[in-house]
Structure 1
Amino acid sequence: MPHPSHEKQKQRNAFFDNAKYLAIVLVAVAHAWEPVMDGSRTTRALYMVVYTFHMPAFVIVSGYFSRSFAGRPDQMRRLVSGVLVPYAVFEAAYSLLRRWAGGEPEHPLSLTDPFYLTWFLAALFVWRLTVPLWRALRHPLPVAVAVAAAASCAPGVGADLDLQRVLQFLPFFVLGLVLREEHVLLLRRPAVRAAAVPVVLVAVAVAYAVAPRLRLGWFFRTSAAQELDAPWWSGPVMTLALGGCALVLTAAFLAWVPERRLWCTALGAGSVCGYLLHGFPLKALEYGGAVEAYPVLASPAGRIALTAAAAAVVTLLCTGPVRRALRCVTEPRLAWAFRPAPPPAVPDPRPAGPAGAGRAPGAAPAPAAVSRR
């Protein structure tokens, strides 16, 4: 989910903006299904399919747009203003909502324990800081997969910064780093687009078959295998299995993302706002006991209505007016917090030659030889 301030409008890629908008709609819809999917095998199966690939797709795109990160001062300023500041603000906001509306006054306000949606910003901050390391490795993707597999069977991984999730989603970020434009173009081939439809149908059928038995915790990637009452070796196995499924479904999703500019293309630039804000109405419904008060929401018609409402709300939250209103939080300038950029170096106007050989540009000329007569 690259931050919109990092790309000039004229350089924006309609394909990726469309992909980000459609992905954030799937995120909001899946979150809306959570309180009403009990008792509906079909809804649970659709939820599992969406959860298999919607965040991996976001992470891959984030890695793809992080390929040039080298830790330069201007990049660090954008990382702080576009990722760290929104994380701190929304982590505090969601924690206060949980304390006041959620009836948990003892819930601590901690910036090291991400709550609900904010884990992604914490993870993105950590992942981007490690980009130079992954760019330096000869085979970064196998190393990242090994790290994720090791984390999936290590219950001792701490909860700080949701580290278990950071490590288990790491291969998708590294995959985005190693992708090139020609790899993305492969997804636009007619054969790939044709194969995407049966792939999704098979995925839904498989999810429907295993929905009553498969624990949802595997999809969240917040726990080690032992914490899901499974043997340790199932962690690496599920890392590879779910990772493979995520890649196939992400490819199928991207194959059908339109390349041309549409009415929703501009909304992709505001996907960060849609992501960070859509949790507030959903949490308000949860804390207010809406499903218990209105059981019709858990009916087939109610689920359809919630799906449409979630898509409409997150679309509204991605619009330009919302993005501009939140710019002070999601795109703060923070000029007061950083040193001004140094002026560009002035090239040495003197011609290169024997007189200037052997000394650094800008150095004073050597003193003339003194006669000893």
Structure 2
Amino acid sequence: MSENSSAGRPRESVPAREAFFDNAKFLAIVLVAVGHSWEPLQNGSRTVDAAYMAVYTFHMPAFIIVSGYFSRGFDARPGRLGRLVSGVAVPYVVFETGYALFERWAGDDPSNPVTLLDPWFLTWFLPALFVWRLTTPLWRTLRAPMVPALALAALASMSPELGDDLDLQRVLQFLPFFVLGLLLRPEHLARLRGRRLRTAAPAVFAAALLVAYWAAPRMNYEWFYHDNSAQELGAPWWAGPAMTAGLLVCSLTLTACFLAWVPRRRTWFTGLGTGTMYGYLLHGFLVKGALYAGWYDHPWVHGPLGEVTVTLAAAVAVALLCTPPVRRVFRAVVEPKLTWAFSRAARTPAAGRTAGSATDDPASRGSTADDPAFHHGSGLPRVHHG
């Protein structure tokens, strides 16, 4: 008897994962880790400052745009709500607590509070993703959702009274990138494969580095974190909307160039792209640990050889954190199985899946569509960084 007949109906074929998205995830998480490793080297090297600003212009927007792209099919059905809780909310509670306790122990800061209302270090993206994805049905009902998203981002950038609860500044200021991702279709991403953009991308990145080199001693790089209003950064209120618009253009340009150069074929790191959640959530302990252990205190680290060494070490470390052995060890806290906590409707794999939905996109098979680590980024030494 054939498998199809034994099941009583034809078995659904599962399209293969698209290598492009796993490649993009891995390369982006490497940029995140490298950017974090550069933080203690800032203010001593103008070159590092320029590279840092250039990377921070696009690595979080790229994460968030693809996050929105894979959230297109979210419709708040029980199955998807269950995955949102187990894949985003629970890891946030675990790692927000873990980083706070690590800061108390390794950072010798017993006063550091354990709170879920004020995200600390790289955990801020988890509640932001939770809010964005939960509001996806609302954005998809609007005729022109980018208009209110941009308006909310601009208003947030000049509203210091928003406070730090759940990092609402970042939730609102990064919102346009998520909404843009919701509007994208596969044919839009396919246009990035054009020869013109691929040819122009190196020149665009070179120009961005030159501009960043000029701006490094003149500009407050905290604008790239999107976690403060203009007034909190010492600028007039109108600078908030102006910087929001200017950074949006720069971020989208560099994101397009980055994605244009992501390989479409399988590479040696394609498999590592399926484990970026682990690399993202765990690499902060290594970066913070190196800082607290005094490794950055050695003078040679702040020279050209030391800066290159730190960069390579960060890239290798985050790659190792994405490997299967590490994932097996930490799966219980990064991808917890919480079927016991949900109703039968939420436990049913088919719940929330309809033909032609975003979750049926071959690129979103496996954990890609619900992998929050693909969309994460952060920085040192506190919650600013993205």
The residue aligned with 1:324 is 328
Tell whether 2:160 aligns with 1:155.
Answer: yes
TM-superposed deviation, 1:37: 2.4
What's the CA shift string for 1:271-312, capped at 9, x where partnerless? 1110001100110122222222x1211111000000000000
The residue aligned with 2:54 is 49
SS at 1:278 equivalent: helix
The residue aligned with 1:315 is 319
The answer as to whether partners of 1:113 and 1:161 remain within 8 angstroms in 2 is yes
- How many Å separate the matches in 2 of 1:29 and 1:178? 30
- How many Å separate the matches in 2 of 1:34 and 1:331? 29
* Residue type at the aligned position of 2:240: G
The residue aligned with 2:257 is 252
The residue aligned with 1:167 is 172
Tell whether 2:19 aligns with 1:14.
Answer: yes
1:295 to 299, 316, 321: 299
TM-superposed deviation, 1:330: 1.8
The residue aligned with 2:185 is 180
Q: Write out aligned runs for 1:34-73 (5 A).
A: 34-73=39-78
TM-superposed deviation, 1:11: 3.7
The residue aligned with 2:247 is 242
The answer as to whether partners of 1:84 and 1:122 remain within 8 angstroms in 2 is yes
- How many Å separate the matches in 1 of 2:14 and 2:133? 23
- How many Å separate the matches in 2 of 1:133 and 1:269? 29
The residue aligned with 1:98 is 103
SS at 1:341 equivalent: helix
- How many Å separate the matches in 1 of 2:18 and 2:324? 17
The answer as to whether partners of 1:37 and 1:298 remain within 8 angstroms in 2 is no
TM-superposed deviation, 1:9: 8.4
SS at 1:252 equivalent: helix
Q: Write out aligned runs for 1:242-281 (5 A).
A: 242-281=247-286
Tell whether 2:343 aligns with 1:339.
Answer: yes
Instruction: Calculate percent identity across the aligned residue pairs.
Output: 60
- How many Å separate the matches in 2 of 1:142 and 1:266? 38
Q: Write out aligned runs for 1:328-367 (5 A).
A: 328-341=332-345
SS at 2:345 equivalent: coil
Q: TM-score, normalised by structure 2?
A: 0.85
Q: TM-score, normalised by structure 1?
A: 0.88
* Residue type at the aligned position of 1:26: L
- How many Å separate the matches in 2 of 1:221 and 1:188? 30
Q: Write out aligned runs for 1:178-257 (5 A).
A: 178-257=183-262
* Residue type at the aligned position of 1:278: H
Tell whether 2:272 aligns with 1:282.
Answer: no
The residue aligned with 1:138 is 143
TM-superposed deviation, 1:20: 0.5
TM-superposed deviation, 1:314: 0.2
Name the structure, 1 or 2, with higher relative contact order (CA <8 Å, separation 6+).
2
The answer as to whether partners of 1:17 and 1:266 remain within 8 angstroms in 2 is yes
Aligned-residue CA RMSD (Å): 1.6
The residue aligned with 2:366 is none
Runs of 4+, deviation exceeding 3 Å: 8-11, 342-345
- How many Å separate the matches in 1 of 2:204 and 2:121? 30
- How many Å separate the matches in 2 of 1:317 and 1:63? 25
The residue aligned with 1:370 is none
Structure whose alpha-carbon radius of gyration is higher: 1
The answer as to whether partners of 1:27 and 1:54 remain within 8 angstroms in 2 is yes
Unaligned runs of at least 5 residues, structure 2: 1-12, 352-386
How many pairs align? 337
SS at 1:156 equivalent: helix
